Structure 1
């Protein structure tokens, strides 16, 4: 059977001015959508209407919210194919800042506040890299350019986009957005000013971030009344004294409030003890997103965030009764967002306007967490010092060798080695050895390395030491990434005619155990309760083998609380398959099923 030809979607070329130019700049002329796979659904009111393929026409009159796991460029193209062109009312994105550092999710095991902490430091030691914000500038510009073009295609004519940045890239992105959206459509360069942050002695303390607010046209929505803030008490006092410049009564001023302006100093960053706090270091406060959503999305508006991270945009939209779409390539982000949304829907009960959301996969990114974990373990195991200032090499070793870590999605190839050689040729004074860390290698690699090493000149003729020697560390050779999945023993028994009793008898995450053992200076403590390693437990009481429909979720209220581990739930009277999904603290999932 012939493969179905993919539909090509034409994209309008930006025509705005001024222009930002970079090496390799090219507009998107067309894109192609990808198949979507419905993998999970939260439907506490049993509406059972999650669409297998989320086509806009099918959702318009029977909406459920959407969470996509996949690369956002691919997901945005897929949304165009599914009929969402011109349907989005508000886009908020908090993209990478090109900060030249890794952003991590800090993981603490439940019920053990001190486990995973250094004796002299309150920072969590078990850290999981969610994304690397290390870019060559030209690559960053092209990355953002393509996504901004697609977002404009999805925006309604009355729609708006807010892009959250900091001092590193805001000036470049402003010019880039002038090209994509038009210079005249810049409505505000909002300043989020906060009291927290390093002061330092070398410069003025950096205590603000920028949010660029553009509209798609001059017909954009903006509702001031819901976001007005109180007048300064002195202003009210002057009005009460009857000073001539106030043309309204003091009571009216107090009642109406004022425009917050474009410098927001009244919204604090998320504190460590805040109830909304997640494990994301870049998490934005819900009050910030609530202000943006109230102003730029009507009560039934559709909000999109394609860098969803900790899920704050979706959380705020859900709480305010707006429709939403969230996208992230990182599975951990999808899990954190899902967990937060489930809690809101449960808290609001039957009053919830949109009580159902579904998770879709676009392409397969399940291995991303494993590859990230393996890279972190390799860095620890081999004593590598990460180098953030080098755009090519990943770091150095104590013996001063350069280190290059090959993407674990493919084995080391001759092309990878040639790229390293090309980089060394750009550095004529570089004579250090190069350690290449890989997960598997092609058969021709060993012969190539041997030949290369023989051809290099001597560094010291007396010791016969040569320069620029390639040293291959293949993690497969060392059984370094002998990946062991998490394991669970779960007892599932029918009780009476229409109930099931579930008991999690044991759970082990080899990845968590390995991380604890490898971290230097870690407090050596046993884990007295295996539930410390479990983040969330989900149950589908009538699993069809394809879509996991969440009938029950055990999401602990506080970070230090444990999951219950034992459940008694209603099930159909007929024979049914019960599925229990256990998600550990690093985001790995274990699925246990049984017919009862």
Structure 2
């Protein structure tokens, strides 16, 4: 007989603690989880007529961090009065939130991020709580709608979460809650948003992690007035609410009471009295609750002796101000309270004044689990101080970050889904957020390998697995000390296979090394294939510059280790792993024209083409794949979801000072396409400019191209 969940729960919590403890122990080691900054986003919604002043401010921001981005970041934009507070940068992070939290706890000097242990003021959590949810992404393209199933990484995350039902869900959430407690400050709070599927079980885990005495409230959010499926013959009450579990880390938590407007009915029934000038008031009881036994002072007021809620001094002050009324002799005096001085009624645990998002709501961004901004606004105002730090590790549609931004709080948000991260980035740009970092988990594959192959694994072990799955035989160790080289022979062609390390970017230096080994190792080879995990953004440019037909570069599936863990052995994966080609972006010649006063110059950047070389790597069925292929042939630029420009790329961090994205209709009125031409006015610069363009397609794949535009292009 299977164990009940209550029987399994102590074991689940114990295993969760072990996972969290291992992560925290690793924070002191050499190979800590880090964050890679993929983009520094300086929101600037595209406009055909750029404001030179705004562009100049962006340039000053770039200059202010040119030398200090990886150390202390100095405030800038003095002339505009737009100083950034301190050295903080808000962060949108793509990747597994367990690794995200490990990186935040560890801190990272490379990105100027100190350890955030004990630094987060508020965590709002809206984790998935319905195993039957449809996680397919519906992509609307010009003339066609595609349905993309989750990426394999996302599928494994979801299947892990629900493989054994609620028990698996609790296995997933427990170590994450433990790390969240480590991140919270002593004045911090956490709100966990759930429903009837798992809420009562997660409540038990929260009691274990945070302590039963630190449970504050169960808030009931009446999210809908719908009648449910009653018209379809259901035999249950309509399900119209969610539960939000509210815990503190310690009794010193921050708290700001929330007051709601008084109802018309309440005002009519209670504020029945008026002064001669028409000012409305009510009469309120002043007796001390619990009487003298509770320590309330007993004394005489207007001939009536009772235990009162106020001291004698306070009572006399109210009398002197005319705020104590005795309706007739012998009656208990009452306190006069004016309607225009009322703060309203303090919010209770029953929230029926915030509706779920309707189809016509201006907030809607077509994300199935999106929550209304008013819901998050109430939570932040109550439990996070001004300029406090808010975190949401199941970011979804980005409501928490968007509201924190509007309310002047700092924020961190993350999500495992690339579609979610794209939606969040666009949403924040759309509301003209302060500059923020878009980051990813560094060495994700290394961490996954440790979990799959054991903490003592070596990179060479992983390379051997990759080579075997590609179909290559390893070279002898005397010729292959790093164990990352293999070979394939057949059809008269001798091919060297080079498996790059997961903890580095495959770029020009790697390609040159692979070509040198092709030409010299063991008498030379006809061809070399480089298999990479993570790529330098300019990899396509490097391949083009080398122009070597004997070089092929392929992508190792990022989910390979997850699949290996699921299958249980290398043999079960053979023949089912695809190594995809790279996608690439092309530009038309960039125009650079200096203004008449020589103080500024205009850059005109036009997209020429986008090539998705391996559509078979996208998780589509045959019908949707055929639709995609037809659109690629007819209008390849329609696949671009977002593109951005760094007019002075330093080769390290992409600083996005211009962006356009599908859904931004300010410039072209077309919600299904990006504009394909950008015009930027920037301060003049001597010498060549290195202009970099980065694009993300509708499937989340990134491509980048960089060009040097010399002074000869000026006129």
TM-score (norm 2): 0.59
State the alpha-carbon separation in 2 of the partners of residues 80 and 92 from structure 1. Answer: 18
Higher percent of residues as helix: 2
Contact 2:445 2:558 in 1 (8 A): no
Match in the other structure for 1:150: 179
* 2:441 pairs with one of 359, 362, 366: 362
Residues 1:323 and 2:312 are matched in the alignment:
no
Identify which of 644, 649, 670 aligns with 1:543: 649
Aligned-pair distance for 1:268? 2.1
Aligned-pair distance for 1:316?
0.8
Per-residue deviation, 1:325: 1.1
1:451-530 to structure 2, matched below 5 A, reads 474-476=575-577, 481=578, 483-497=580-594, 498-509=601-612, 518-519=622-623, 527=631, 529-530=635-636
Equivalent runs, 1:580-595 vs 2, <5 Å: 580-595=693-708
Contact 1:283-1:312 within 8 A present in 2 as well? yes
1:211 equivalent among 244, 248, 258: 244
Among candidates 1, 8, 14, match of residue 25 of structure 1: 14
| Equivalent residue, structure 1, for 2:500 | none
Query: Is contact 2:693–2:704 with CA below 8 Å preserved after alignment?
Result: yes
Corresponding residue of 2:235: 202
CA 1:566–1:148: 2 relative to 1, 3 Å: same
Partner of 2:368: 281
Question: Where do residues 302-381 of structure 1 align in structure 2 (5 Å cutoff)?
Answer: 302-345=389-432, 355-364=434-443
Distance 1:107 1:174, change over 3 A: same
Higher CA-based Rg: 2
Counterpart pick for 2:681 among 558, 564, 570? 570
Q: Is the 8 A contact 1:125 1:519 kept in 2?
A: no
The alpha carbon displacement at 1:516 in A equals 7.5
1:375 is matched with none
Decide whether aligned partners of structure 1 residues 31 and 52 sit closer, same or farther in structure 2, where only a CA change above 3 A counts: farther
C-alpha distance in structure 1 between counterparts of 2:203 and 2:74, whole Å: 34
> How far is the alpha carbon of 1:53 from its aligned partner?
5.4
Q: Which residue of 1 aligns with 2:340?
A: 252
Q: CA deviation at 1:115?
A: 2.3
CA shift, 1:315, in A, is: 0.8
**Do the aligned residues in 2 keep the contact of 1:100 with 1:134 (CA within 8 Å)?**
no
1:557 to 651, 661, 664: 664
How far 1:56 sits from its partner (Å)? 11
| 8 Å Cα contact 1:22-1:141 kept in structure 2 | no
Q: CA deviation at 1:127?
A: 5.2
- CA deviations on 1:511-562 (whole Å, 9 max, x unpaired) are 6797788237998996565443222111111112221100101134358253
How far apart, in 2, do the equivalents of 1:38 and 1:411 lie?
A: 24
Question: Conserved in 2, the CA contact under 8 Å of 1:330 and 1:365?
Answer: no
Aligned to 1:381: none
Equivalent pair of 2:223/2:352 in contact (CA under 8 Å): yes
- Structure 1 residues 507 and 412 mapped into 2: Cα distance closer, same or farther (>3 Å)? closer
Q: Point out the more displaced range, 488-497 or 511-520.
A: 511-520
TM score, norm. by length of structure 1: 0.69
Q: Is the 8 A contact 1:36 1:53 kept in 2?
A: no
Q: Is the 1:104–1:280 Cα contact (8 Å) retained in structure 2?
A: no
Q: State the distance in 2 between where 1:241 and 1:411 align.
A: 68
Q: Cα offset for 1:214?
A: 0.5
Is the Cα contact below 8 Å between 1:502 and 1:567 reproduced in 2?
yes
User: Aligned partners of 2:172 and 2:90: how far apart in 1?
Assistant: 26
Q: Give the match's secondary structure for 2:11.
A: coil
Distance 2:34 2:625 in 1: 46
2:400 corresponds to 1:295? no
1:204-243 → structure 2 map (5 Å cutoff): 204-224=237-257, 227-242=258-273
Relative to structure 1, is the Cα distance of residues 522 and 249 closer, same or farther in structure 2, using a 3 angstrom cutoff?
Answer: farther
Of residues 37-46 and 481-490 in structure 1, the stretch that sits farther from structure 2 once superposed is 481-490
Provide the C-alpha distance between the structure 1 equivalents of 2:100 and 2:36, rounded to a whole number of angstroms. 12
Which string of whole-angstrom CA distances, capped at 9 and with x for unpartnered residues, describes residues 266-292 of structure 1?
A: 222233343332342112122211111
Counterpart of 1:61 (choices 62, 86, 98) is 86
Deviation for aligned residue 1:154: 1.3
1:105 maps to 137
Residues 71-127 of structure 1: per-residue CA shift (max 9 Å, x gap): 222221222222212111111111121524452333212xx3x621xxxxxxx7455
Residue deviations 1:550-595, cap 9 Å, x none? 0101134358253211112135442121111121222222212111
CA RMSD of the aligned region, Å?
3.7
Instruction: Note the residue ranges of structure 1 that are not aligned, 5 or more in a row.
Output: 1-17, 117-123, 347-354, 368-405, 420-440, 446-471
Q: 1:327 to 1:562 in 2, by over 3 A?
A: same
Aligned-pair CA distance for 1:365: 5.5
Aligned residues: 467
The alignment status of 1:81 with 2:106, answered yes or no, reads: yes
